[in-house]
Amino acid sequence: MTPPIALTALLPEIILAVGACVVLLLGLSPGGRRLGPWVTLAVLIGSAAVVLTQRSLTAGGSGLLYGSLAYFIRIAALELGVLITLVNWSQAASHERGEFLSLLLLSLTGLLLVGAANDLVMLFLALELTSIPTYILIVMGRTGVRGAESGTKYFYLGALAAALIAYGLSFLYGVAGTASLTGAVSAVSGALQQPGTLAYGLAMAGVVLTIGGLLFKLAAVPLHFYIADVYQGAPSPVAGLLGFVPKLAGLAALFRVVPLTGHWGAGVGPVFGLLWIVAVASMMVGNVLALRQVSIKRLLAYSGVAHAGYMLVGVLAGPLALSAESGTSGLLGNGAASVLYYVVVYGIANLGAFAVLGMLRTRAGEEVDTLRDVAGLLRREPVAALLLALAMFTLMGLPPTPGFWGKLGLFGSALAAARVTPVAEHGPWLIALVIVAVLNSALAAAYYLRVIAAVLLYENDRPAESAGGEAPQVGALLCGFLLVIFAFVPSGLLASGLSATAELSDATLAATPVQAADVAPPVDTPADSARPRVLPRADGEALAVPVGRPVVE
């Protein structure tokens, strides 16, 4: 049993949970409802301020592990939480505003806990705390059949994913004999090296079921078929929330589960093959289905499936993908860091696109959805048109938008990983994966350019117009501002991602035996503890891997 963790380490989560209760109570009175969004912003900013004071925190206990990865997830979730609050400022009906904002804070609380989860039970509970509020947010304020249908689909498929995760985690617990994720690495990875045994079957079933359930969070194939109906049935600002929170939660959980295989998904053939097939299928299915859409919300939904495939390219590369020529990690050398960079950029661009759709209305007073609805937008609402175009260019990955830097990092890390042992045994498959990803990126440009052309070039006798509301407009402007910043100064966010994945590199290297005829195994002595680890390259040469910050549990 792990020792209890100090409450000071949990202070950001406590602030969010208490804030959720306060906002819910404020919703009982008309005056309190008007204060609700302001209190929510104050809670998010206050929690972020506490996280910044804990930047160097490395502590563990009570099923949690606070280190560099948890810090990144906290900051990303809280910053995007501020944008989500602004975009959804007047989304809920006045009598439901307290419940809406309370559920938003609870979902973000769960997301913060997912980033720090170091225990099988804690990981499952944190994922459910993140997911359950979103089931309610989708249908809140929706009285039509479409809203009820989308909410029902999301709930039942979410329950199925939760069952898969719980079942898989139970297998992993049975193999490891401990609920601790760090403690289970040696037992699970060892079992996966013994094909034909009962332990191998149980461990493989546990890993596959757990990863399969997490694919629902990413909206990756084959658990993607709900996404278009959910996006179309949900209000646009809420759909923007769904494009970030579940994906970040799923990726954070993958970063905890995949190392159980012993080496970031590349040391065990079936696990690597599973993720490879899912990545290719997600990119191809998502882009092909998006090409057929005239609804922008459904187009963005299917493009999210394709983006999940791009992110899995970085997951397959892992944190061990070091540049073969320079021997140092960077934009082209760390798949996990590139994934973190990419999911933040994708979340901002996706939220910005839905923010623009949410603050526009047709002449009939309905929410903007189709390409015809946004035709001629440049003439009527030039700022909104430019923001929507910027979001689409970023999602497309056009240079020099941050989407381009993100894809460059994802694809470059996979190519670098193809030359590093033991990932190099799957090198040809990684190279093929990058080729598929590049071709799909070119295919995706077709439907993004359709939206951009409709907004900037086409004419409409009855163009959409602003629905009013200063806060959503501020939220959309902030999304555009951040995209411009990350386009020309990508190093800050990338450096944060590299720091966040340092503990993943250390944990993976510690669990991966190094076997090479010309490389002596390192001896763990106090004098050598600060020396770099040695990792052989596919060409037989040794590659020094700098050791990152230690992880203390």
Going by pLDDT thresholds of 50, 70 and 90, the confidence category of residue 462 is confident
474 falls within a domain: yes
* Domain carrying residue 365: 267-505
- State the residue for tokens 């990792």: 535
For residue 1, the tally of other CB atoms under 10 A from its CB is 9
- Lowest-pLDDT range, 79-88, 224-233, 358-367, 507-516? 507-516
pLDDT at 357 over 60: yes
Q: What is the mean pLDDT of the chain?
A: 83
pLDDT tens, position by position, 84-130: 999 888 766 666 788 989 999 999 999 999 999 989 999 999 999 99
Q: What is the pLDDT of residue 535?
A: 41
Residue 334 falls inside a structural domain: yes
Please choose, from the candidates 95, 78, 113, 124, the residue with its C-alpha nearest in 3D space to the C-alpha of residue 36.
95
Least confident of 265-274, 336-345, 437-446: 265-274
Q: Give the pLDDT of residue 320.
A: 59
Peptide bond into 270 cis (omega under 30): no
| Pairing mode of beta strands 465-466, 59-61 | unpaired
User: Rounded to whole angstroms, how far apart are CA atoms 308 and 186?
Assistant: 29
Confidence of residue 544 (pLDDT cuts 50, 70, 90): very low
What pLDDT does residue 333 have? 66
* Sole residue written with tokens 């490389």: 519
Pick the residue with more confidence: 74 or 153? Answer: 74
Q: Would residue 286 count as lying in a domain?
A: yes
Q: Is residue 472 part of a domain?
A: yes
Q: Does residue 356 lie within any of the structural domains?
A: yes
pLDDT tens across 300-328, in order?
Answer: 999 999 999 999 999 988 775 443 443 44
Span 193-205, pLDDT tens digits: 888 889 989 999 9
pLDDT in tens, 138-164: 887 666 677 777 788 889 999 999 999
Residue with tokens 């859409």: 293
**Phi, psi for residue 205 in degrees, rounded to 5:** -60, -40
pLDDT bracket for residue 330 (50, 70, 90): low
Report CA torsion sign: 431, 432, 438, 444: negative
Spatial separation of the C-alpha atoms in residues 280 and 268, rounded to whole Å: 19
Question: First-to-last CA distance in the chain?
Answer: 12
Residue 325: strand, helix, or coil = coil
Please check whether residue 492 lies inside any domain of the structure: yes
> Alpha-carbon distance 109 to 212, whole Å?
24
Residue 50 domain flag:
no
Q: Are 261 and 316 in contact (CB under 8 A)?
A: no
Closest to 218 measured CA to CA, from 256, 257, 244? 244
Is 95 a member of any domain? Answer: no
470-488 helix and 335-358 helix, angle to the nearest 10 degrees: 150
**CA distances for 66 relative to 94, 189, 494, angstroms:** 38, 23, 20
Task: Give the least confident one: 74-83, 216-225, 492-501.
Answer: 492-501
pLDDT at 335: 84
pLDDT band (50, 70, 90) for residue 284:
very high
- What is the Rg, in whole angstroms, of the alpha carbon atoms belonging to the chain? 23
Residue 117 CA to residue 135 CA, distance in Å, equals: 22
Stated as kind and residue range, the H or E segment containing 408 is: helix 402-417
- From the list 14, 6, 109, the residue with the least C-alpha distance to 57 is 6
Mean pLDDT of 382-392: 93
SS (H, E, C) 147-161: HHHHHHHHHHHHHHH
- Mean pLDDT along residues 364-377: 83
Contact call for residues 135 and 89 (beta carbons, < 8 A): no
Please give the distance of CA 221 from its chain centroid, rounded to a whole number. 16
pLDDT digits (tens, 9 = 90+) for 424-437: 677 888 899 999 99
Would you call 328 exposed, middle or buried from its count of C-beta atoms within 10 A (0-12, 13-18, 19+)?
A: exposed
Is the predicted pLDDT of residue 551 greater than 50, yes or no? no
What is the mean predicted confidence (pLDDT) over 49-74?
84
Query: According to the model, what pLDDT value does residue 458 have?
Result: 83
Q: Which H, E and C letters describe 350-402, residue by residue?
A: HHHHHHHHHCEECCCCCECCEHHHHCCHHHHCHHHHHHHHHHHHHHHCCCCCH
Assigned token pair, 300: 């963005």
**Counted domains in the chain:** 1
